[in-house]
Chains A and B, each alone.
Chain A
Amino acid sequence: MAAPRLFRPTARLFSSRLASTALRSNIRQSACAPSILRRGYATETGTKEVTVRDALNEALAEELEREKKCYIIGEEVAQYNGAYKVTRGLLDRFGPKRVIDTPITEAGFCGIAVGSALAGLHPVCEFMTFNFAMQAIDQIINSGARTHYMSGGIQPCNITFRGPNGFAAGVAAQHSQDFSGWYGSIPGLKVVSPWSSEDAKGLLKAAIRDPNPVVVLENELLYGQHFPMSEAAQKNDFVIPIGKAKIERPGKDLTIVCISRCVGLSLDAAAELKEKYGVDAEVINLRSIKPLDVETIIASLKKTGRILAVESGYPMYGLSSEILAQCMEYGFDYLTAPAVRVTGAEVPTPYAAGLEAMAFPQVDTIVGQAVKLLRL
């Protein structure tokens, strides 16, 4: 319970300033420090340690470089380098026509981005957080997701919506919501949610290249986290196919299906299950929410016979409800125990650090549910 309190970043309500980090407790460095300075050296195998923030930044830079129609728009993305520094350096490199600061009006700049996509550009529309994208939901869904179909397939809408979503730290009910289920339920949208640096880079690049509107749900707590990045992933043609899950850890006793930050938690939980109970859990990183890689899930279920879905959204009508439903529809005969889910709690996110931690899946909640499921 101590960890979240120490980690609690000074509630970056609307922005996080880099320069001010020096004044704060050094515990927070991982969340905010200029990660580019801490980038690791290449190892013999060519793998490099890269933060999610830098991976996203690299993806944006490469795609801006590759496609002249691509541009970035959002609040504080240019001059300020992005509220979470994801767009660092892009204004200097690509100029104010490709990296555009806007007045504070989500409905406005999102509408402008959608409009430019309908006219043939490839905008990347950044929301400071997806909590604020609620102001622009009409543009995303009624226009972004619908116009291509309703125009008889004439009008393109190659747009990418991106920004942090879900878990945050110390910012209470209006800044810590997970909208995976919301966007996942909309025909006409593709939705991805990266965990590692490779995910972040490959999925964002795929999203920008994809001719459809794609929602990229990132997570602010992951931005400062380092992940190894293979040599292939460091290249500028690295793309991860949308709709394909990745087995992060193979196993035979239990399938854990998870996404975004929950992947890290599930891997830790799997390690604990192995250590304490000798259970081999298979961890599937979904990567895409829509389309959902049902095939990989069912293949794993056939092997293990047991399934546990882990996500940070609200329990009702959410991503894990969908996963469980799909398992009943396509894999019921392989289930040897009722499918189980671990989700965020059905409450507005509390401010108190201890309660906040309990409002989202943690390693021990995942282990606890797995143990119950396996009747250990």
Chain B
Amino acid sequence: MSLKLLTRGGLRSQPITTARIVPARRWSSSISQPPGSDSVRFPGAVNSKFTSEMAFLKASDLPAIPTYRVMDSDGRQVDKKRPAPDVTNEEVLTWYKNMLSVSIMDVVMFEAQRQGRLSFYMVSAGEEGITVGSAAALTPDDVVFAQYREAGVFQQRGFTLKNFMSQLFANSNDTGRGRNMPVHYGQNYPRIHTISSPLATQIPQAAGAAYALKLQDLQNPNRDPRIVACYFGEGAASEGDFHAALNIAATRSCPVVFICRNNGYAISTPTLEQYRGDGIASRGVGYGIDTIRVDGNDVFAVNEAMKEARRLALSEGGRPVLIEAMSYRVSHHSTSDDSFAYRARVEVEDWKRRDNPIIRLRKWLENQGLWSEEQEKEARDQMRKAVLREFGAAEQEKKPSLREAFADVYEEITEEQREQMTELKRILETYPDEYDLRPYKDGINGLD
């Protein structure tokens, strides 16, 4: 850690430890009240004007934060005067295909789970625009912390169908070595951190990782600066972790972009019972964080917001940004959920038909003459085949080698574990009819 950085805030010559980083503005804010001043100089609220009129701020009187969008639900640019989105046709087509691919995989895997071929699955229907659009604005070196409904982020960042399927079927190609529940993807560390089940834990961790990136980039100014992109749902934003994360990211000036997927439901709890304020965006403002609300079904709006957020996050030495992307969770929460128990089927069908990120982008592409009915049919057909092909291959693929059952608790296999492996091998060799080792990579040799 660089001493120069730590003393930048005008700290006096005291022993420097990491716990004592105090920026200069803290000191200047404690100046006492000058006589006749019309504004507050209390350290806790600078630049606040005095008033003799007692008035409480009524949350309900404040106008709701507007929602940024570029194209309408018919796939047309809303503001004709502004330039068209700064994206090549090729890129947009890639986005579209990625969104389509994720949604097709979702349908297949959801059904596969229902048939008992994997234990669990979570779809992201209705949120492909948010994940693909935002991931497209990241550089390959940016770091992602995801929750569990961000297949689009993985897809856009180069995750292949084979990668997805290997994790879902916990086979020998799974970089998690078959130890995680399905959809807990993780690959290409440290650019993507493995998904963790308990809600919201990734949010403060993202702030911490962003702080680490900031220090690393300061030490090594030659490399391109990086940000952390942190995804979560509006339900997770009720956890204390969310609040701790935003506050600390703001006070420590961490280059992190928080992306809230506000899809209207936290399992069965509708947003009305999740919070009473103006969405999640209003909280960002409260923590002194630059905030925007975007139409999550508009992939261009999401992408533009994310690009700008990335720029802001790296400006002025780093700072956090909050994006609240609005959408509707068309799907059930997970394969363990049947959402028609708490919401009307007609409401869901209505959303599916009326507004959906994929349909909207398709209309846009068709308006531009970049896409046609035949192409759509062909693409869907091909993707479905590809999904099924990888599905079949992953299911057939061998399970991780037997040695993986002993690895990664201790750095090196311990003497006791070695004995256990020898004993296991002896048993397996003694009773070959009792244990079918064919599904495991390397068979019996996996224990060598």
Chain A residues proximal to chain B, CB less than 8 Å: 8, 10-20, 23-25, 75-76, 79-80, 101, 103-108, 131-132, 134-135, 170-175, 346-348, 350-352, 355
Contacts and interface: CB of A to CB of B under 8 A. Distances in A.
Contacts of A75: 267, 269
Given A15-B336, A20-B336, A350 B240 contact: no
A23 B240 contact: no
Given A17-B336, A170-B120, A104 B341 contact: no
Interface of B: 113-114, 116, 119-120, 122, 170, 178-182, 184, 196-200, 235-236, 238-241, 266-269, 273-275, 332-338, 340-342, 399, 405, 409
Given A14-B334, A103-B238, A355-B405, A134 B198 contact: yes
A263 B21 CA distance: 54
A172 B116 CA distance: 17
Given A134-B198, A350-B405, A19 B120 contact: no
B239 A104 contact: yes
B333 A15 contact: yes
Contact of B119 (A11, A17, A350): A11
B198 A80 contact: no
B239 A106 contact: yes
A174 B195 CA distance: 11
A11 B236 contact: no
A24 B239 contact: no
A174 B269 contact: no
A104 B235 contact: yes
A23 B337 CA distance: 12
A351 B181 contact: yes
A8 B116 CA distance: 10
Contacts of B181: 11, 13, 170-172, 175, 351
B146 to A, nearest CB: 15
Nearest to A172: B181
Contacts of A172: 179-181, 184, 197
A101 B269 contact: yes
Nearest to A80: B268
A107 B182 contact: no
Given A104-B235, A108-B238, A11 B182 contact: yes
A347 B198 CA distance: 19
B341 A135 contact: no
Contacts of B184: 172
19 contacts: A10-B119, A10-B335, A11-B120, A13-B197, A14-B337, A15-B268, A15-B333, A25-B116, A76-B268, A104-B199, A104-B200, A104-B236, A107-B240, A135-B198, A170-B120, A175-B181, A346-B409, A348-B409, A351-B179
B405 A104 contact: no
B170 A352 contact: yes
Nearest to B342: A79
Contacts of B199: 104, 132
B336 A105 contact: no
A13 to B, nearest CB: 6
Determine chain B's interface SS by DSSP, over half rule.
Answer: loop
Nearest to B122: A13
Contacts of B119: 8, 10-11, 170
B333 A105 contact: no
A135 B335 CA distance: 25
B336 A11 contact: yes
A108 B238 CA distance: 9
B442 to A, nearest CB: 16
Given A18-B338, A80-B267, 9 more contacts: A8-B119, A80-B341, A80-B342, A108-B238, A131-B198, A172-B180, A175-B181, A348-B179, A351-B179
Given A8-B119, A11-B182, A16 B336 contact: yes
Nearest to A21: B338
Ranked nearest first, the 7 interchain pairs of A and B with the lowest CB-CB distance are: A11-B120, A103-B238, A20-B338, A17-B338, A19-B338, A174-B197, A105-B238
Nearest to A5: B119
Contact of B336 (A13, A106, A107, A351): A13
Given A76-B267, A80-B342, A13 B239 contact: no
B216 to A, nearest CB: 29
A199 B335 CA distance: 32
B120 A13 contact: yes
A298 to B, nearest CB: 33
Contact of B240 (A14, A134, A135): A135
B336 A10 contact: yes
B418 to A, nearest CB: 16
B174 to A, nearest CB: 10
Contacts of A25: 116
A13 B334 contact: yes
A17 B235 contact: no
A134 B199 CA distance: 11
Contacts of B333: 14-15
Given A23-B114, A134-B198, A351 B178 contact: yes
Nearest to A136: B240
Contacts of B332: 17, 20
A163 to B, nearest CB: 14
A161 B269 CA distance: 22
A134 B399 CA distance: 32
Nearest to B197: A174
